[in-house]
Amino acid sequence: MIELNPLVELIIMNFAVGLIVTISLNIEVGYLRIPQFGRLLAVIVGAVIAAAVPGRILALYLGLPYGAEYADHMYNAKIVIQINNFLSKNLLLSLAVFILTLVLAALAGGVIGYLCAYPALRLKGSYLGITLLTFGEIVTSIAWNYQPLVGGTAGVYMVNPFAFVGSGSSSLAALITLTIAISIYIYAEILARSPFVRMLKAIRDSEVASEVYGKNIVKARAQTLVIGGAIAAVAGALWATYTGRMNVASYTRLTWTFWPWAFMMLGGVGNNLGILVGVLLFTLARTAIIQYKYVITSVIPIAAEWLEYILVGLVIIFVVMFKPQGLMPEKPTLTLPRKAIEEIRKRVEQEQGRL
């Protein structure tokens, strides 16, 4: 199996997961202006599902402890090693486990999105943003402290569904994640041209007018949150699977909420291609900073880590101040050209004439 350069692999992984999360954010913020400052919530739920459920199902199947002992750091490593050994000889089962993980994560993310629809109905603007952010903090706090779920502070090891390839399994995970990211991107592009998103944009631009035309705003908002939550949860599950270890502390509101916001604002709110560019630019910049850490530190005597924060901070400020539309502003979706409409009309008439 091919083994990628670790740096390339990291770039691919960061780009892919960043793209998925940012697309999910864009569906909610770009099309409906829901101030989703709680992106972390769906992501962490996805990661928790990926860490807690498939491993337990397999442990049950293999007759290993699957209850609270599964998440205990004394037993967890041993149990997961046995499961991975079993999976590495079982290609089809591995793939089934992987797909099941993603489906379960998406379902859980969707449920989370649906639950968020209630506050989204009652609150507006920064109030809603703060509420969603708080939901994320509450869930993180519980996942961090409730040991039987995913090991609490000690964390748990993840089942590795790509163990069958041997040494290159993380490269394969990165490539598969990239494939999933691209398919989600294509889905988002198709969605962006659908009547559904047109309706969302109408609601965003004038709630009253779209209500007058009989659009169900409550339902539309809930649907958007469900779609966004499901996609974000998939990103969380993919990241947890790739890292091989679920550690709640690495899921912070900074990396999973604020940075996707920065990616989105840089690229262009409401424009999928812009988001792709924004995520790519940020990923490359961050990797460059990490890669040339020592060079940077020798020139300016500060840890390169903080340079990353300054960079992200400056980008956010400059985009908000000077280019609120982002690098690639959202374009109005045009209706079909006159010619195409005429052709469709002709075709319909012909069909009617035939009848």
Contact 79, 59 (CB under 8 A): yes
Distance separating alpha carbons of residues 31 and 27, to the nearest angstrom? 6
Indicate whether 209 belongs to the interface with another protein (CB under 8 A): no
Is residue 138 at the binding interface for another protein, with CB under 8 A as the rule? yes
Binding flag, residue 134, another protein (CB under 8 A)? yes
Handedness of CA 220, 43, 180, 96 (dihedral sign): negative
The residue range among 7-15, 92-100, 177-185, 302-310 that interacts with another protein, by the rule CB under 8 A, is 302-310
Query: Which span (20-28, 91-99, 198-206, 257-265) binds another protein, by CB under 8 A?
Result: 257-265
- For another protein, which residue of 93, 123, 217, 280 counts as binding (CB under 8 A)? 123
Q: For residue 118, state whether it binds another protein (rule: CB under 8 A).
A: yes
Strand ranges, E, within 136-222:
156-157
E strand or H helix at 67: none
Interaction residues for another protein, span 142-161 (CB under 8 A): 142, 145
Listed as own residue / partner, the contacts of 59-62 with beta carbons closer than 8 Å and 24 or more positions apart are 59/83, 62/86
Quick check: 164 binds another protein (CB under 8 A)? no
Region binding another protein by CB under 8 A among candidate stretches 70-78, 109-117, 159-167, 319-327: 319-327
First-to-last CA distance in the chain?
58
**Unique residue bearing structure tokens 């040991």:** 147
Report the nearest approach of another protein to the CB of residue 129 (Å).
Answer: 7
Residue 122 engages another protein in binding (rule: CB under 8 A): yes
| Residue from the set 60, 249, 284, 320 that interacts with another protein by CB under 8 A | 320
131 binds another protein (CB under 8 A): yes
The answer to whether 242 and 170 have CB atoms below 8 angstroms apart is: yes
What is d(CA 335, CA 344) in angstroms, rounded to the nearest whole number? 13
> What size, in residues, is the chain?
355
Based on CB atoms, which residue is closest to another protein, 98 or 144? 144
218 forms part of the interface with another protein (CB under 8 A): no
**Least distance (Å) between residue 300 CB and another protein:** 10
Figure out which of the listed residues 68, 96, 190, 302 binds another protein, where binding follows CB under 8 A.
302
Of 54-62, 139-147, 171-179, 274-282: span binding another protein (CB under 8 A): 139-147
Angle at the Cα of 257 from the Cα atoms of 255 and 258, rounded to 5 degrees = 75
Cα separations in angstroms, 14 against 255, 267, 281, 297, 339: 11, 16, 11, 23, 44
Nearest to 106 by CA among 50, 146, 46: 46
CA distance 156 to 232: 21
- Are residues 49 and 287 in contact, defined by beta-carbon separation less than 8 angstroms? no
Q: Residues binding another protein: what is the number (CB under 8 A)? A: 41
Least distance (Å) from another protein to the CB of residue 162?
A: 34
- Residue 35: name the closest of 102, 104, 131 by CA: 131
**63, 125, 195, 214: which one contacts another protein (CB under 8 A)?**
125
Nearer to another protein, 55 or 152 (CB): 152
Of 112, 177, 106, 102, residue with least CA distance to 138: 112
What is the full DSSP assignment across 309-334? Answer: HHHHHHHHHHHHHH-TT-SSPPPPPP
Q: According to CB under 8 A, which residues from 32 to 91 bind another protein? A: 33, 35
Binding residue for another protein (CB under 8 A) from 216, 324, 333, 349?
A: 324
Out of 242, 261, 263, 282, which residue is the one contacting another protein (CB under 8 A)? 261
> Is position 243 an interface residue for another protein (rule: CB under 8 A)?
no
Kindly state the smallest distance separating residue 314's Cβ from another protein, in Å. Answer: 7
* 29: enclosing H helix or E strand: helix 6-32
Task: Kindly list the residues in this chain that would bind another protein in the complex (CB under 8 A).
Answer: 33, 35, 118-119, 122-123, 125-127, 129-131, 133-135, 137-138, 141-142, 145, 254, 258, 261-262, 265, 302-303, 305-307, 309-310, 312-317, 320-321, 324
